[in-house]
Structure formats: C-alpha cells, structure tokens
C-alpha cells in the first residue's frame, strides 16, 4: 500500500479548487458571451429603428426652418407696410389736417354768424300771461315785462 504524503494531498486539493475555479470562470464567460450577443443584437435593433427616426427628425427640422424663414419674411414685410402706413398717415395729416381744420373753423363761424342773424330778425314772442280773476299779482312779477 502506498501512503499519500501531505504534499500530494495539498496538490490534489489545489487541483480540485483549480478545476472548480476554472468551471466557474467558464460559466461566467459563457454568460458574458450571451450578454454581449444580446447587447449587440439590441444595439443593432436600436440602430435600425433610430436611423429612420433621425432622418424624419432631420426633415422635420428642415421643414421648420423653411417655415421660420417664411414667417420672418412675412414679419419684415408687415413691418415695412406698417412704416409705410405711418409715413402716409403723417403726410396726409400734415397736408390736409391744417387746411381742413381751417375750413371747418370757417364753416362753423359762417353758420354761427348766419344762425345768430336769423334769431335777431325774428321777433321774440312775449310769454303768455294767465289772468286769474280775483287775484293780484305780486309787485315783483308786475314789473317784469
């Protein structure tokens, strides 16, 4: 019979632990490989879906930029029309405003003069007096004519 020495027992134990460690590492590497494959597939799927989305987003941004350019052109045209209208109203006010005010004032003066003249030509009616039999009118009222 052969006796096993302490060094041989230690070698066997190291070999068993080494085999268990290698087995655990092999399982971990296999799972890591599966995870990497799944990740690669996920990234590929995301890329396949993201590329059309990015193309659509890019076209939407271009369209929005075109619309913004149009709105900017319209706003500048509106600003130009506003400034032209302001200049026109200032011109009309300065050209016709003064003479129109003078004509209106002259017309008002003529109407007032003619209206006052007509009132002077028409005799003023004296107010009707009511006579009540048997009553005397106070002196203050009798003097008024």
Q: How much of the chain, in percent, has pLDDT values that exceed 90?
A: 48
Among 1-5, 32-36, 60-64, the range scoring the smallest mean pLDDT is 1-5
Q: If DSSP codes are grouped into helix, strand and coil, which group holds residue 19? A: helix
Residue 20: the pLDDT is: 96
Residue 113: the pLDDT is: 85
**DSSP summary character for residue 122:** S
Q: If DSSP codes are grouped into helix, strand and coil, which group holds residue 135? A: coil
Residue 74: the pLDDT is: 94
Tens of pLDDT along 26-51? 999 999 999 999 999 999 999 999 98
Tens of pLDDT along 80-103? 999 999 988 888 777 877 777 888
- Token reading at 2: 């052969």
Q: Report how far apart, in Å, the C-alpha atoms of 60 and of each of 39, 50, 56, 65 are.
A: 31, 15, 6, 9
Q: Give the whole-angstrom CA distance, residue 26 versus residue 101.
A: 105
């Amino acid at each position: 019979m052969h006796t096993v020495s302490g060094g041989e027992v230690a070698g066997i134990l190291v070999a068993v632990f080494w085999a268990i460690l290698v087995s655990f590492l092999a399982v971990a590497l296999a799972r890591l490989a599966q995870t990497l494959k799944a990740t690669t597939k996920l990234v590929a799927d995301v890329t396949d879906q993201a590329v059309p989305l990015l193309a659509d987003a890019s076209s939407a941004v271009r369209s929005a930029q075109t619309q913004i350019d149009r709105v900017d052109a319209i706003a500048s045209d509106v600003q130009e029309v506003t400034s032209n209208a302001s200049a026109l109203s200032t011109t009309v006010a300065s050209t016709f405003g003064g003479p129109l005010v003078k004509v209106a004032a002259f017309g008002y003066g003529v109407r007032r003069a003619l209206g006052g003249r007509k009132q002077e030509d028409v005799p003023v009616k004296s107010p009707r007096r009511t006579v009540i039999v048997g009553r005397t009118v106070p002196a203050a009222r009798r003097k008024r004519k």
